[in-house]
Amino acid sequence: MHKYIIMGAQGSGKGTQANLLKEEYNLVHISVGDIFRWNIQSHTKLGARIKRITEAGELVSDEIVEEIVQRRLQEHDWNYGFILDGFPRNKPQARFFLESYDIDAVIHIEVPDEAVIQRMLARRKCSSCGLDYNLIGHRPKELGVCDVCGGTLEQRADDNESAILNRL
């Protein structure tokens, strides 16, 4: 069983690389951002808190993130291992996590801030099927329309320059 952490700024390509590793090694990709978005879309109490925080361009507290990660890992659906994306973000979170899990490797992706900003401003997601696009490198055939299901492509509310700069 393999346990990996993938780290880097938002928009650095963590999710893309994690998905490649997931496919290659039959790992479960655990994305803190995806868990946040699921809670927001499902209108949970936690989702409402996360939405208020992220729409203000702020980072979700360590306590909330730690609780989410702990709950997700307790599902034990990762027989061959997992790749954790978006956690830990700082030393206190790393200490919390390493007390409970032996990690095989940490992958750190470094991308210049300017490139991260441009990537994040160009991100789009299908409102129907959830497929990710980027207007720089993974463009839809028709602007604003998902190639797979025809759904509308939307920009995340927190993908604006002031919120991005605050998160960097």
Which residues are designated catalytic?
14, 89, 123, 156, 167
Give dist(CA 119, CA 138) in Å, integer: 11
Give dist(CA 45, CA 41) in Å, integer: 11
Is residue 3 within 8 A of residue 103, CB to CB? The reply is yes
Given the structure tokens 């956690």, which residue do they identify?
A: 87
Dihedral (CA of 67, 78, 102, 37) sign:
negative
Q: Which residues contact 95 (CB under 8 A, 6 or more apart)?
A: none
